[in-house]
Amino acid sequence: MKTQVYGLDGNAVREIELSDKVFGRDVSEGSIYHAIRNELANKRLGTAKIKDRGEVHSSNKKPWKQKGTGRARSGQRSSPIWVGGGKIFGPRPRDYSYVLPRKVKRLALISLLSLKAKEDRLRVVTDFTVASGKTKELVTMLSNLAANERTVVILKDDDAMVKRAGRNVPWLSFLSFNRLQAHDLFYCRKLLLLETAATKLNEFYGDGGQA
Q: Which CATH number belongs to the domain containing residue 12 in this structure? A: 3.40.1370.10
Exposure on the CB side of residue 27, measured as CA atoms within 13 A: 12
The predicted model scores a pTM of 0.84
Per-residue pLDDT tens digits for 150-197: 999 999 888 889 999 999 999 999 999 999 999 999 999 999 999 999
Question: Does residue 26 lie in a domain region?
Answer: yes
Tens-binned pLDDT, residue by residue, of the chain (211 aa): 888 999 998 888 999 999 999 999 999 999 999 999 999 999 999 999 999 999 999 888 999 999 999 999 999 999 999 999 999 999 999 999 999 999 999 999 999 999 999 999 999 999 998 988 999 999 999 988 988 899 999 998 888 899 999 999 999 999 999 999 999 999 999 999 999 999 999 998 876 555 4
Asked whether residue 51 is assigned to any structural domain, the reply reads: no
Overall domain count for the chain: 1
Establish if 151 belongs to a structural domain.
Answer: yes
Residue 147, domain extent:
2-41+101-204
Q: What's the pLDDT score for residue 211?
A: 45
Query: Is 71 inside a domain boundary?
Result: no
In the chain, what percentage of residues exceed pLDDT 70?
Answer: 98
Q: Tell me if 62 is assigned to some domain.
A: no
Q: How far apart are CA 54 and CA 61, in angstroms?
A: 14
Domain presence at residue 67: no
- Give domain status of residue 87, yes or no: no
- Domain assignment present for residue 17? The answer is yes
* Per-residue model confidence (pLDDT) at position 207: 62
